[in-house]
Amino acid sequence: MTGRTNALDVIDLTAGYGRIEVLHSVSFSVPVGAVVALLGPNGAGKTTTLNCISGVLSPTSGHVHLNGHHVNGAAADKLARAGLCTIPEGRGIFPNLTVTENVSLFAFASQTSPKDIEERTFTQFPRLQERRSQLAGKLSGGEQQMLAMARALSSDPAMLLLDELSMGLAPKIVEDLYEIVADIGRQGISVLVVEQFARRALAVAQLGIVMVQGRITAVGEPADIYDELSAAYLGGAA
């Protein structure tokens, strides 16, 4: 009986690879229209959590509710058509398609015409318009990440999952990208950001979740979880 206030509920999620359990009964929620940052050091299980939500990985036990619907074990493509959009770690683009093709490809999920999607995207990301007929693989790292986000937005998602947005990018570019994330949040799309560089993500998030070794150690407003966060990164209790 999940209320309509949460876009995503993760309840007692346990998952792993082979015999190794990575997540130990993880629970948290993402309210509708909120930007939530899932933070933690390397190997905390952040990406695994994300993979369980997006349907790429099947959890061993526990539940994932999307808009109140139980979605465990649903295939990734079904979830995507139901409005869940994921930008995976590392550039989530198709390097051998052009920028335009990358963007319009995902008219698949929605019923919008490719032309409308292109127009909307290119107004939001003028930089991409300049590069529209280039192969996506030839873009710079920042542009590729921008394209990944543009493409994600083109499918008009209800919820966006972002994995390691800042990976391998210059601080200035990361800043720009987080501006876009904040913008997306203001449009009413719920966002779950997974990030190692906590400060950047917390600046735009309404809620922070700290994860260490497959367990949630703190949940709260950005200001409240800083202590817990430094403990998580420095490896001891503050």
Partner 1 sequence: MTNFVTFTVIGIVVGATYAIAASGLVLTYATSNVFNMAHGAVGMFMTFLYWEVSVNQGWPVWVALPFVLGIAAPAMGLLLERVMMRRLTQADVTISLVVTVGLLVALIGVAQTIWPPAGRNIEQFFNGDAVSFGIVRVSAHQFITMGVALAVAFGLYVLLNRTRIGTAMRAVVDNRELLALHGARPNLLSGLAWALGSSLAALAGILLAPQLTLDYTTLTFLVVSAYAAAMVGRLKSLPKTFVGAIVLGLLINYATWAYISLPKSVLTSDFGQVIYGVKNSLPTIFLLLVMLALPQEKLRIGRISGTKLPKLPSWPVALAWSAVFIVGTYLLTGQFGDANNSRFGQAMCLPLIMLSLVLLVGYGGDVSLMQLSFVGMGVLVAARGFTIPGTGIGFHPQVSVLSIVTAFLLTAMIGAIVAVPALRLRGLYIGLGTLALAAAIDRIVFNTKLLGFGNEGSTVNANRPGWLQSEQSFAMAVVVAFVVMGLMVLSIRRGKYGRILLATRDSQAACATLGFSTTITRVAVFAVSAGLAGVAGVFFAGEHISVSTYDVFFFKSLPLLLFATVFGVTSISGVLVGGLVYGLIGYAPTTVGNLASVVLLLGILLLGGNPNGLVGLIFEQARKVPLPWRRGGLPVEAEPYPTHNPARSALEAPVGTA
Residue ranges binding partner 1 (CB under 8 A): 17-18, 51, 54-58, 69-82, 85-86, 88, 92-97, 101, 104-109, 114, 151-152, 155
Neighbour count for residue 70 (Cβ, 10 Å): 13
CB of 210 to partner 1, least distance (A): 25
Sequence letter at residue 8: L
Q: What phi and psi, each to the nearest 5 degrees, are found at residue 21? A: -85, 130
CB of 221 to partner 1, least distance (A): 30
CB of 205 to partner 1, least distance (A): 22
* CA dist list (Å): 64 to 30, 176, 189, 191, 194: 11, 31, 18, 16, 17
Identity of the residue, 79 or 204, whose beta carbon is nearer to partner 1 in the bound complex: 79
Question: Is 189:124 a contact under the CB 8 Å cutoff?
Answer: no
Identity of the residue, 128 or 207, whose beta carbon is nearer to partner 1 in the bound complex: 128
Q: Which residues pair with 84 in a beta bridge?
A: 159
Identity of the residue, 193 or 198, whose beta carbon is nearer to partner 1 in the bound complex: 193
CB of 96 to partner 1, least distance (A): 5
Identity of the residue, 75 or 234, whose beta carbon is nearer to partner 1 in the bound complex: 75
Structure tokens at 202: 């917390």
